[in-house]
Structure 1
Amino acid sequence: MTTLILMVAGGLLGWSAYHKIPEAFAVAIAAAIMVLPVYLVASGEGRTQAEEDPAKEDPAQVLRRRVQAVNQAFTEAVALMDLLRRDLDAQQAAREALLAEAERQQRLLELNEEEAEKIRQILIGETKASIRAGRRRELRFFLAGILLSAALSIPIGIWVNSIS
């Protein structure tokens, strides 16, 4: 019976976490599920034939047995609540670890985006610099060509004029 109650309470906590139901509500329901056997024992459910016939047993012994059953049920309920609390704490720790890991991954992603932007800026800067350098070189060749053609065409023009 204890195992069944523990399974139901653990399943309830898992179900509540899946459906995003507040933990306090799930713990309250689990506690009610665990206290139910205590109530059933205290109310007399499940009594044997000898327990129902007060003439056959000593009232003190019956009372002692009932108190012992209630104490045992409370002991089991406390143990189960402790197990549930440990499971809940373990789930909470796992959740916090996952959130911390997600936050770390997000920071890494942001850093990678920043680094990618810096690399892009460097590449664009290098590309612009290389384009400017290429244009300067082309301009120098163009100006050198004009100067060279002017320097050569004047003497050739004079020579052609002198021949004709």
Structure 2
Amino acid sequence: MTSTTRMRTRRTVVMIAVVVSASFTAVMLIGTIAPLSTGGGIDWAIWSPFAISCIALSSVSIWALRREARARLAQAREDPGQSLGRRVERVNAAFAEAASLMDDLRRDLEAQKAAREALLTEAEKQQSLLEVNEDQAEKIRQILVGETKATIRAERRQQWMFFGLGVAASIPIGVMINILVP
């Protein structure tokens, strides 16, 4: 934590203490004025908390002022050269961090650029393969269609041949059966 942050934190804590003490004092004052306005006498049992809160408020205020004065004195005692040196060190550290971040960003950018180039090269290769594959696929389709037609013709010829052989074999067998069986 820097000294400026500490001073702000202390100042905030002191202000909260002063506000709480002042609020308590105001409540006590309002609570004790009411009996006095009605004509009642001074009752020390009522006024003693008011007096205690006034003393507490004064003590907190004096303590806060002294603490702030001590902080200012400590800051004033500090050598301006040291303060400037610390600031220069912080600036140098910030610049060094910015430079390292820039190097990291540059490396990341180069890696992304290399990945993009590799992807583009791969895409071009795939595109050329796709074009070659389309031509080859058309040739393969034509070969398969030609083979399919040839296969169908061969199967038809084979079926007609079996039909012809069946007819040719059945006639002599039928004639022989008629001759042999009276």
Please tell me the TM-score bracket, short chain as reference: 0.3 to 0.5
Larger radius of gyration between Structure 1 and Structure 2: 2
Please report the TM-score for the alignment, with normalisation by the length of structure 2: 0.39
Please report the TM-score for the alignment, with normalisation by the length of structure 1: 0.43
